[in-house]
Amino acid sequence: MSAVWNFARRPFRDERPVFVAIGAGFALGFVLLAANLHQYRKFSGEVAGTRAQIEGLEGRAARAAKSIDAARAALNGYKLSSLAQQSAGLQTIVRERRFSWLALLARLERTLPPDVRLSRLSPRFEAGDTVFVELAALGRGPDSVVHALSALARDPAFQSVELHTETSPEKGVPEGYSFQIALKYVPGETP
């Protein structure tokens, strides 16, 4: 059916209600579009705020994870350093227990000249088999100090031989010449 736009003819077809309905539909569509746009902006704002909150929370979670990892690393490092200290202490005890006093005394007896007596012997255990020994000795004369130092220096088991103090009978030692020697004793060395 074709529409004829001649309004002078009879019967009149009043199409105004259709236009009003179409106009009302467009107006309603525009109002709904405006409401939709308003809700979209509001939702976008809320989502942006929520996204910012989520990013903030994720940042806090990442910082907390880093802090936890750093704390764990520090704790593990403390545990390791504590274990290393305990292990070093235990190794020192083992070295002290394994140290042969008889071998040291026999070596000193073979090495020192007959006119030198030991009055004090104190070892200090270091890493490996090295033992630092401080010994106090008494000699009959001034030559006994020189003979003791040269005998200890010749023996490969005694290294870094140093004379620390020397006291003659005039200075208050009635037994003879008193002297102290510091040296490094390596038990594995053989003559």
* Mean pLDDT of all residues belonging to the chain: 81
Domain with 126, as residue range(s), is 99-185
pLDDT at 115: 86
pLDDT at 79: 67
Query: pLDDT tens for residues 115-155?
Result: 888 888 888 877 666 788 898 888 887 788 888 888 888 88
114 shares its domain with 160: yes
Euclidean distance between CA atoms 182 and 111, whole angstroms: 15
pLDDT at 51: 82
Is 6 part of a structural domain of the chain?
no
pTM comes to 0.50
Of 98, 131, 163, the domain-final residue: 98
Euclidean distance between CA atoms 174 and 123, whole angstroms: 26
Q: Answer whether residue 191 shows pLDDT above 60.
A: no
Per DSSP, 60 falls in state: H
Euclidean distance between CA atoms 164 and 151, whole angstroms: 16
Of 83, 98, 113, the domain-final residue: 98
Torsion angle of the four alpha carbons 156, 160, 164, 167, in this order, in degrees rounded to the nearest 10: 20
Report the domain count for the chain.
2
